[in-house]
Structure 1
Amino acid sequence: MATPESATARFATPRRALATVIFVVFLDLVGFGVVIPILPFYVRSFGVSDVFIGLLAASYSLMQFVSAPLLGRVSDSRGRRPVLMLSLAGSVVAWTVFGLAGEVLALSGLVAGVATLFASRMLAGAMGGNIATAQAYVADVTPVDRRAASLGLLGASFSLGFIFGPALGGVLASDAAVAAARDFLPTAVPATRFSLPSFGAAALSLLALVSAALFLPEPERTRGPERRVTLVGGFVEALADLRLRGLVVAFFLLSLAFSGVQVMFIPFAADVYGYDATQTAFFLTYIGALGAVNQGVLVGRLSARYAEARLAVVGAVVLLVALALLPFSPDVGRLLPTLGGPPWFTRELFVLLVDGALLSFGNSLLNVSLSTLVSTSAGADRQGNAFGVTQGAGSLGRTIGPPAMAVLYVLGVPWPFVVGAALLVPIVVLLARHVDETGSVASP
């Protein structure tokens, strides 16, 4: 189906459409990142157990698991642009309600306040399923030989969002920003260190929505017929496809392993390295910056020379080694000779920085290569459905991973990282089956 004439008039080249969808996703992810620094403290301000922090994160991922396949299928039949705009509008509502949860607590009590938190996070999770649609959009406007590089740019926008978002959230939660907002905003608008970042996230999603409405065209592509497939049916259909089965399982295992490790890294850094929140934030910024370079530059150059299936195997092996090394990085550091430089640049820190670089590189290479394999394994009329199912599998992994890894951490500090590395072994095996003698995706 052809792109509407008004859209093609605004966008003459797929390159500009690609740049626009990446910008829209970047704005949305910055908004998501804005809330990260304040979310645990916001939950604690309600006077409830820290268990609710994990449950709140799980509720987001669970709704993303449910919505991603649905939004992907709808985008195949109804169009990418309407789905992206609908999800961005929902994000505006979700972040606004999230910022008002404190007011609900004061007016209606604890149960209503906590229910508002969960309702807003579940709506945000449902709207977060739009990532699959954005990936399908990129696949629509990019030739096959440049798809890995383009999906890498989309991944780099994720990393940049997680660099700028938390920093902006920290600024909006500061006493100076809250005081300025109280002087500027009407008294009816609550301005606290929790509401202000939430409203900032809503504003960024609104800006992304306006950008999509004004500048994002519907791509030219082959549209599939509208199909009524249940959530379970969509997964069964994907698992029955020999080209997609291993990729769906790989996305689930990767998300299960890596999301749990991400959550438990902050307590690990505090307990083992003695880092406070600021020091840990600097390290996470370092990882985010590396991720942006890896996904935005290195992955694209490597994909021009090597087959995606081979790159995915290499990424999985590098990530496996990095996860297994992480809990033992202080011990490895003490085996090294004394390093020159400032006193704070210790041998233990050196090993942690190197391991962080391996984590970022392996995760970037594996994620982008998996996404590219999904795109090339699905028909032109089923891109949204394929990405929706694989992203849904990833969301299911992110629902299970954090609480499971938290339990393992209580049993012993190394266990989440060792188990996370072990979960990558079947991914290596699954991906190796996709590689034939020439390094391409093997025929089923």
Structure 2
Amino acid sequence: MADETDGESGSIDRRRAIATLFLVVFIDLLGFGILIPVIPLYAKFFGANEFIGSLLIATYSLFQFVGAPVLGRLSDDHGRRPILLLSLLGSVVAWTLFGVAGELGPLLGAANGLVVLFVARAFAGAMGGNIATANAYIADITPPEDRARGIGILGAAFGLGFVFGPAISGVMSSSFALSFFEGVLPAFVPVSQFTMPSFAAAVLSLLNLGLAFVVLPEPSRRKTTTEATAGSRLRGLYEAVTSPAIGPLVVAFFLASFAFSAFESEFIFLTNDRLGLGTAGNAVLLTYIGVVIAVVQGGLIGPLTDRFGEHRLALAGAAIQLVTLALVPFSISWSFVPSLGPIGSGTVGLALVATPLALGNAFTNVSLNALVSLNADADAQGGAFGLTQSAGSLARTFGPAAAGLLYVAVAYWSPFVVAGLLFVPILALLWRMGRGSASAVPG
């Protein structure tokens, strides 16, 4: 049957498994997205300055760098399902700690809850490596020619979580919602604009854990021969980089993640400083970008891959991002762009550039993930994805820091131009892989 896996993938209903995994990843990222507007202000509430707040943001990616290959290899050895369940349970614990940071900090001897925030953020990052396991699950249940489509569906879930998460955070932290919660929750539950989004993320993670436990099966797969890495994660990443099969892809993934995280971290600074946009205006722009990425990854990437192949799509996405990232800071002052009612010309110009930028990002992310899967051994999919996602996590740790330094020390436009230029070596790496490989042409 067309909708069942075959051979080593077992008899799992593929469509049902992918749909379930989509929902699991969406809810997981929804919980993560809820806290995006909360984290910087939460840190400031405890007396942190902007630099410390940035370190709190980067802590997640740093520990995700450590956790992704560990979870990936554990899923190779012990199964995808138990590792996904473990990571979801970890998210419940982490987001609950986030919500009680103010109360728990003094009990642990800390001056305030900032220490608890860092601990919770680190634990959430370690458990956030489950995306690698989800990608490996897709690799287990799909044939090579359909892998980009399956990974694209997970990418859409990833994007939708970032679209709707901040909106839920806004509702949960509104004055109306806070008044309601103060009236119905016990007195020992802390109610504030920071705690309620945190608890909402924890509840969603708990519901997600129950969903995955009940309906997500363990895929059949070949017994792994991959040995667990005993040394440093950096050593494992170095070995991946030097691998002829996936090394160029890991480097490309690192540079692409570094560049786009630099853009994301400075985007709100740019729109606030140059356009005067507040939270609401930025939410609209970020939602729009997220919707474009989700639509492309979830609906268009499959047919486009069938027609052009993963390699060509990765090249196209890199070329598009090279140009559009460099144009971002200048698009806000294009005099030839008209206003649209209450929307100023600067915002319209930025949206015009953001559309192909989101398209290019979707092409690059999905295609690189699919190429990694196609070039890795069948019994080491989890480890391969874990190392690749680790490269992305490491990039997202240092990308925002470097971009912030450029923004302050050089000029507001410099991090965006540098981010665009990072796609030049990406194009060179992908071009060197050659057009004649089996993964570079449609199946």
**Matches of 1:238 and 1:216, distance apart in 2:** 30
Following superposition, the deviation at residue 239 of structure 1 comes to 2.3
Tell me the residue number matched to 1:259: 261
The answer as to whether partners of 2:311 and 2:435 remain within 8 angstroms in 1 is no
Q: Deviations over 1:262-316 (max 9, x none)?
A: 0100010111222122111111111111111111111111011111011100000
| TM-score where L is the length of structure 2 | 0.93
Tell me the residue number matched to 1:249: 251
**Larger deviation, residues 185-194 vs 396-405:** 185-194
Following superposition, the deviation at residue 109 of structure 1 comes to 6.8
Tell me the residue number matched to 2:296: 294
**Matches of 1:280 and 1:208, distance apart in 2:** 28
**Matches of 1:170 and 1:347, distance apart in 2:** 27
**Secondary structure, in 3 states, of the residue corresponding to 2:412?**
coil
**Matches of 2:148 and 2:12, distance apart in 1:** 22
**Larger deviation, residues 119-128 vs 215-224:** 215-224
Following superposition, the deviation at residue 106 of structure 1 comes to 6.0
Q: In structure 2, what residue type is equivalent to 1:421?
A: G
Q: In structure 1, what residue type is equivalent to 2:20?
A: T
Q: In structure 2, what residue type is equivalent to 1:274?
A: G
**Larger deviation, residues 370-379 vs 345-354:** 345-354
Tell me the residue number matched to 2:209: 209
Tell me the residue number matched to 1:59: 59
Tell me the residue number matched to 1:119: 119
**Secondary structure, in 3 states, of the residue corresponding to 2:422?**
helix
Tell me the residue number matched to 1:366: 364
CA, structure 1 residues 12+244, in 2 after alignment: closer, same or farther (shift >3 Å)?
A: closer
Q: Deviations over 1:48-70 (max 9, x none)?
A: 21211110011111100011111
**Secondary structure, in 3 states, of the residue corresponding to 1:91?**
helix
Tell me the residue number matched to 1:375: 373
Aligned pairs for 1:153-164 (under 5 A) are 153-164=153-164
Aligned pairs for 1:31-180 (under 5 A) are 31-105=31-105, 111-180=111-180
Q: In structure 1, what residue type is equivalent to 2:279?
A: A
Aligned pairs for 1:308-319 (under 5 A) are 308-319=310-321
**Larger deviation, residues 48-57 vs 381-390:** 48-57
The answer as to whether partners of 1:408 and 1:416 remain within 8 angstroms in 2 is yes
The answer as to whether partners of 2:226 and 2:380 remain within 8 angstroms in 1 is no
The answer as to whether partners of 2:34 and 2:167 remain within 8 angstroms in 1 is yes
Following superposition, the deviation at residue 330 of structure 1 comes to 2.8
Q: In structure 2, what residue type is equivalent to 1:334?
A: S
Matched, 1:409 2:410: no
Q: In structure 2, what residue type is equivalent to 1:219?
A: P
**Matches of 1:416 and 1:244, distance apart in 2:** 28
Tell me the residue number matched to 1:419: 418
Tell me the residue number matched to 2:15: 15
Tell me the residue number matched to 2:236: 234
Tell me the residue number matched to 2:329: 327
CA RMSD of aligned residues (A): 1.9
The answer as to whether partners of 2:311 and 2:439 remain within 8 angstroms in 1 is yes
Q: In structure 2, what residue type is equivalent to 1:392?
A: S
**Larger deviation, residues 245-254 vs 224-233:** 224-233
**Larger deviation, residues 88-97 vs 105-114:** 105-114
| TM-score where L is the length of structure 1 | 0.93
**Secondary structure, in 3 states, of the residue corresponding to 1:74?**
helix
Q: In structure 1, what residue type is equivalent to 2:193?
A: R
Q: In structure 2, what residue type is equivalent to 1:220?
A: S
Q: In structure 1, what residue type is equivalent to 2:99?
A: G
**Matches of 1:141 and 1:135, distance apart in 2:** 10
Q: Deviations over 1:15-40 (max 9, x none)?
A: 11111111101001000111111211
Q: Deviations over 1:57-97 (max 9, x none)?
A: 11111100011111111111111111100000000000000
The answer as to whether partners of 1:38 and 1:173 remain within 8 angstroms in 2 is no
**Secondary structure, in 3 states, of the residue corresponding to 1:412?**
coil
The answer as to whether partners of 1:72 and 1:388 remain within 8 angstroms in 2 is yes
Following superposition, the deviation at residue 433 of structure 1 comes to 1.5
The answer as to whether partners of 1:31 and 1:201 remain within 8 angstroms in 2 is yes
The answer as to whether partners of 2:60 and 2:124 remain within 8 angstroms in 1 is yes
Tell me the residue number matched to 2:199: 199
Unpaired runs of 5+ residues, structure 2, are none
**Matches of 2:383 and 2:281, distance apart in 1:** 41
Following superposition, the deviation at residue 406 of structure 1 comes to 0.2
Q: In structure 2, what residue type is equivalent to 1:235?
A: L
Following superposition, the deviation at residue 108 of structure 1 comes to 6.2
**Matches of 1:249 and 1:335, distance apart in 2:** 38
Following superposition, the deviation at residue 437 of structure 1 comes to 4.4
Following superposition, the deviation at residue 389 of structure 1 comes to 0.2
Q: Deviations over 1:322-367 (max 9, x none)?
A: 1011111134x2145xx4x743344433321110101100000000
Following superposition, the deviation at residue 107 of structure 1 comes to 5.7
Tell me the residue number matched to 1:384: 382
Q: In structure 1, what residue type is equivalent to 2:400?
A: P
CA, structure 1 residues 47+438, in 2 after alignment: closer, same or farther (shift >3 Å)?
A: closer
Following superposition, the deviation at residue 225 of structure 1 comes to 2.9
Q: In structure 1, what residue type is equivalent to 2:341?
A: P
Matched, 1:190 2:190: yes
Following superposition, the deviation at residue 112 of structure 1 comes to 4.7
**Identity fraction in percent:** 49
Tell me the residue number matched to 1:429: 428
The answer as to whether partners of 1:434 and 1:440 remain within 8 angstroms in 2 is no
Unpaired runs of 5+ residues, structure 1, are none
Tell me the residue number matched to 1:282: 284
**Matches of 2:343 and 2:184, distance apart in 1:** 44
Q: In structure 2, what residue type is equivalent to 1:423?
A: L
Following superposition, the deviation at residue 416 of structure 1 comes to 0.3
**Larger deviation, residues 431-440 vs 410-419:** 431-440
**Matches of 2:84 and 2:268, distance apart in 1:** 33
Q: In structure 1, what residue type is equivalent to 2:335?
A: R
